[in-house]
Each structure stands twice: as structure tokens, then as C-alpha cells.
Amino acid sequence: MNIFWFKRDLRLRDHEPLTRALDAGKPLLLVYFLEPSLVADPHYDVRHWRFVYQSLLDLNRQLKSYGAQILILQSEVVPALEAIHRHHKIETLFSHEETGLKITYDRDQAVARFCKKAGIDWQESQSNGVIRGLPNRDDWVQRWQQQMNAPQQNPDWSRYLLAELDPKVFWKFRGKPLPKSWAVQAGEFQVGGEAAAQRTLKSFLIERAEFYLDSISKPLESRRGCSRLSPYLAWGNLSVRQVYQATRTVQRTSHFQGQLRQFASRLRWHCHFIQKFESEDRMEFEHINQGFDSMVFSENEAHFLAWAEGRTGYPLVDACVRCLTATGYVNFRMRAMLVSFLTHLLNQHWKRGAVHLAKLFTDWEPGIHYAQFQMQAGVTGTNTLRVYNPVKQSYDHDPDGIFIRDWVPELRDVHPAYLHEPWKMPPLEREMTGFYPGENYPAPILELQTAARAAKKRHDRQRATELAQTENARILATHTVPGRLL
């Protein structure tokens, strides 16, 4: 038999390796491995596995009409493949290439070794616009554009031949039933699946895109005005090409052409950041720019926890963390502000923060996440340092404090004049409202101006070192597209 291995590509449409697997004309087993090592990995959270499970249920609903089903095997990949091979002799294994953490890279190496030894042909297809083994970015944009304009690859299910897995193997790896609660929507988390992804895409392109640029920076408005396609792209309920082509089609007659142009450019960023990680995956563990290796970080546990739990005393920072914890989403600017608060103002190392936020983002995507995190933490040395002032962000992007009041109930009754800076509330006002900063809600854990000045000084000093400068040149040559702003 042949095997199709679903990874972060949980869809049935525009799917090159699935198309190839069906075209091979052999009995085909469709499998998703729920890997215990990945489930236990600190980057992952139940919100991710719920999204995956919802996606698989959705695919299986669609597959019913073809007499097909994706089996969920709760196992590491190699032992399960070994058992299947022993019973059935696998001829070809089909999958997408994955740009992931070291844990999935090592697993893929082990799978490659096993396949070689067992004589199994493992055929991997390119994921979206991310090119394996690319030495530089000289023609990356052109190749990305070609990939996006190429015809979609839709599997021909009339060619499907069922392969039945030996029940002994199935029962060995089936594992415990997954929680029933995973099948339904949890709170305000986005629901996984191709159907939900298509609905979200359509509602954005037809209705919500009108508000895109006005809402992109705002924590409240972005929840509706941004596309909210990130988890669907991260888990592969949609290919980037599907979204790109649908956008171009709508753009021809849309009243929001400018907004859609800006949106489409972010689809390229999606692949651009993953390409960085594909080319230099050590950034999961090390500074991209080794000139920052000698930087000294603070190890204040209380500060880290205050940030991670939304108790910094800065209302917008706390609102964002609490919202993220409860819903799996905040917009780009608020993510950048959270990183800036942790790494610049609190001078904490980016590593622990990157793992913490990965766990909270439903759209957790290793390539984008690590590349963005290091960029916002200023340790690439190639980007302008951005130290966000959380009070200014608050006045600019949540002026009426609606988002803050939603997520920080302690501040719900605070007068608008003090909502963004509750520590400024005069004693009389404190008496009248019964609100005492430092008691009902934390006093700020740092002094903004002093912390920002220190961060800029630290960064400038580090960036000026010879090693940081040499690295700077190397990074620009490897990861940027000549003459183009990505």
C-alpha cells in the first residue's frame, strides 16, 4: 500500500502531495500521527490539538462520500510506520515538506532513515512558497509569484483505492479516544477545519476587508477587520495559493482594492518568514545575529511571570495577554508590543517568551514565530529597534478603553481619564471609586522612560560590535531580497 501522511496541511483542496498520492493508483492509507512527543512539547497547547482534531473531523466528514477516512494514530511516526510496513509493505509515503522545530526536523530525519532502510520511497512536496535548499534570495520573489499563479492541485477522488489497516496495528496505535469537547467550539477560539477556513476567507474578501487598514493596529477592531486567516494557513486548512488567487479574483471588481493589495503582500511575508527559518533553523535556540550572544539579560522571575500572566500594571499589556490566553489571538502590533515589553523594557531573554507566546497563539507557526520574535527583540541587528511605549499604544489604539475594560475587569469602573495610566489617579478619586492601584490592580512593574532609555543604550552598544556588524552583512545577504522590501 501507499501512505499519505497529513502534517500541517489539513485540507483536501490545492494539495499537491495528496493529488500525487491519488494519481499513483495504489491502495492508499490516509494517516495523521498525533505524536506524544509533540503533544508534550512546551510550544504546544491543547488549543492547537483541538484545532487539529476539529480539522480532521471536518476532513473526515467530507471524505465519507468517497468511502475514505483519515486515521488518527497516537504514536511517534517511526514505530507506527514500522508496524504498518511489517503487516502491509509500504511502497510510497507521501507528505509535504515541513519547516518546523528541531523536534520535527529530527523526527523527519528518523523517518528518512527508516524509509531508506525499509526501501520505502518517501516523496515530499514543497509547502506553499517555501523552497528547500535555497542558497540565497536572488530569485525568491519570482519563484514565489510563479508558485502563487500556478494552477491549484485538486485531488481526483474518483481514483481513490481504499487500503485497510490491519486491526491489530490500528488498535495498538489508536490510543485513548480524544476528548469529545475538542469537537466543538471552545469559547472565543477559532474553529479548525476547511469549512470554517473557507467561510472566514469569503467573509473577509467580500465584507470585512473594507475595514482592514483602519483596524490592523487596533486590538479590538482587528478581531473583525483583519482576515483572521492565520490559524487556517498555519495548520494548512488553506494553502497560501488558494488565498492569493481568491484575493486576486475578488480584487478585480472590489471596492477595497488598496486594502486587498496590502493584505496580499502579507501572504508573501508569511512565506518569507518561514523561508528564513527554513534557511537558518538554529534561530529556535540562538540569536540570528551572533553579535548579540554576549548580551547580558535580566533573570527576574517575578517580572517574567507578571508579563506572562498579565499583571504588569500596564493596562494594554495586561489586556493583550489575558485576551490571548482566553482566545488565542491578538493582532500583529500588540504581539510586537508584548515582545518589546518583555525583551526591551524588562530586558528578558527572548527564548522563554517565544515558547510562552507560541503556546498561546492558535496560529503558532514555527517559522514566522521565531523569525518575528527575534526581529521584534532587536537581535537580528538588521532592523530598526522598536521600543513600543505601551501607554502611547493604549491612547492611540484603544482610546476609549473598550478592549482594556473587556479584559481587565479590575479597571472596568475606572474613570476614562485614568484608564490608560491608573497609577496617576489622585487620592480623592481613589477614595471616591474605591480603586487603589497597587492593591486592586498592580502598580507598574517598571518605570517606562528609564527602562526604554536603558534598552536603547544596551542595543546600540551591542549592535556596534564588530561581530554584530559582520553578522549584519551576512544576514542581509542570506535573508533579504535585493532591492525589494518584503
Ligand X SMILES: Cc1cc2nc3c(=O)[nH]c(=O)nc-3n(C[C@H](O)[C@H](O)[C@H](O)COP(=O)(O)OP(=O)(O)OC[C@H]3O[C@@H](n4cnc5c(N)ncnc54)[C@H](O)[C@@H]3O)c2cc1C
Residues that bind ligand X (CB under 6 A): 226-230, 233-234, 263, 266-267, 269-270, 273, 331-332, 335-336, 339, 361, 363-365, 368-369, 372-373, 376
Q: What is the smallest separation between the CB atom of 361 and ligand X, expressed in angstroms?
A: 5
Q: What is the smallest separation between the CB atom of 237 and ligand X, expressed in angstroms?
A: 11
Q: Which is nearer to ligand X, 390 or 422 (CB)?
A: 390
Q: Which is nearer to ligand X, 28 or 357 (CB)?
A: 357
Q: Which is nearer to ligand X, 24 or 46 (CB)?
A: 46
Q: What is the smallest separation between the CB atom of 31 and ligand X, expressed in angstroms?
A: 25
Q: Which is nearer to ligand X, 284 or 363 (CB)?
A: 363
Q: What is the smallest separation between the CB atom of 380 and ligand X, expressed in angstroms?
A: 13
Q: Which is nearer to ligand X, 29 or 220 (CB)?
A: 220
Q: Which is nearer to ligand X, 88 or 228 (CB)?
A: 228
Q: Which is nearer to ligand X, 88 or 356 (CB)?
A: 356
Q: What is the smallest separation between the CB atom of 269 and ligand X, expressed in angstroms?
A: 4
Q: What is the 3-state secondary structure (H, E, C) of the chain?
A: CEEEEECCCCCCCCCHHHHHHHHCCCCEEEEEECCHHHHCCCCCCHHHHHHHHHHHHHHHHHHHHHCCCEEEECCCHHHHHHHHHHHHCCCEEEEECCCCCHHHHHHHHHHHHHHHHHCCEEEEECCCCCCCCCCCCCCHHHHHHHHHHCCCCCCCHHHCCECCCCHHHHHHHHCCCCCHHHHCCCCCCCCCCHHHHHHHHHHHHHCHHHHHHHHCCCCCCHHHHCCCCHHHHHCCCCCHHHHHHHHHHHHCCCCCHHHHHHHHHHHHHHHHHHHHHHHCHHHHCCCCCHHHCCCCCECCHHHHHHHHCCCCCCHHHHHHHHHHHHHCCCCHHHHHHHHHHHHHHCCECHHHHHHHHHHHCCCCCHHHHHHHHHHHCCCCCCCCCCCCCHHHHHHHHCCCCHHHHHHCHHHCCCCHHHHCCHHHCCHHHHHHHCCCECCCECCCCCCHHHHHHHHHHHHHHHHCCHHHHHHHHHHHHHHCCCCCCC
Q: What is the smallest separation between the CB atom of 204 and ligand X, expressed in angstroms?
A: 7
Q: What is the smallest separation between the CB atom of 370 and ligand X, expressed in angstroms?
A: 8
Q: What is the smallest separation between the CB atom of 466 and ligand X, expressed in angstroms?
A: 28
Q: Which is nearer to ligand X, 2 or 331 (CB)?
A: 331
